[in-house]
Amino acid sequence: MTSISRDEVAHLAHLARLDLGAEELDHYASQLDVILQAVARISEVTADDIPAMSHPVPMTNVFREDVVTASLNRADVLSMAPAVEDDRFKVPRILDEE
């Protein structure tokens, strides 16, 4: 049956920039394993004549017209940011892991 390795969990944690310790990796690996096994039961009842479904409602072509609507007030927007400089969001240095 499906099982997710500790290494795979560590890789996903890195991609999501989550800093997980050794105990946490074991903890989440076993939890995720249970979830994956539960979901895997669905594949027991699928057959080749049932296409994979991504959207529960069979709709297509839902569009909006190309019309400009009001944007948010900048002061309100920047008040949500942890740090601001020069009317921009200030974020930590990037690619520092290289």
Partner 1 sequence: MSQTTYVPFEQALKVYEPVFGLETHVELGTKSKMWCGCSTDFGADANTQVCPVCLGLPGSMPVVNRVAVESTIRIGLALNCSIATWCRFARKNYFYPDMPKDYQISQYDEPLCFDGYLDVTVETPEGPQVVRVEIERVHMEEDTGKLTHAGGATGRIHGADYSLVDYNRAGIPLIEIVTKPVSGTGALAPAVARAYVSELRDVMRALGVSDVRMEEGSLRCDVNLSLNRPGEQWGTRSETKNVNSLRSVERAVRSEIERQASVLDLGDRVIQETRHFHEDTGRSTSGRSKEQAEDYRYFPEPDLVPVAPSDAWVEQLRSTMPEMPSVKRARLQAEWNINEFELASLVNAGALDLVEASIAAGVDSVAARKWWTGELLRVANDTGVELADLQVSPGQIREIEELIALGALNDKLARQVFEGIIHGEGDVASVIAARGLAVVSDDTALLAAIDQALSAQPDVADKIRSGKVQAAGAIVGAVMKSTKGQADAAKVRILLLERLGVSE
Name the residues that contact partner 1, by CB under 8 A: 15-17, 54-55, 57, 59-72, 74, 77-78, 85-95, 98
Number of CB atoms found within 10 A of residue 29's CB: 18
Nearer to partner 1, 23 or 72 (CB): 72
C-alpha distances in Å from residue 39, one per residue of 24, 30, 45, 52, 54? 22, 15, 11, 14, 15
- CB of residue 32 to partner 1, shortest distance in Å: 14
C-alpha distances in Å from residue 91, one per residue of 15, 75, 86? 18, 18, 12
Nearer to partner 1, 23 or 87 (CB): 87
- CB of residue 57 to partner 1, shortest distance in Å: 7
Nearer to partner 1, 23 or 95 (CB): 95
- CB of residue 76 to partner 1, shortest distance in Å: 10
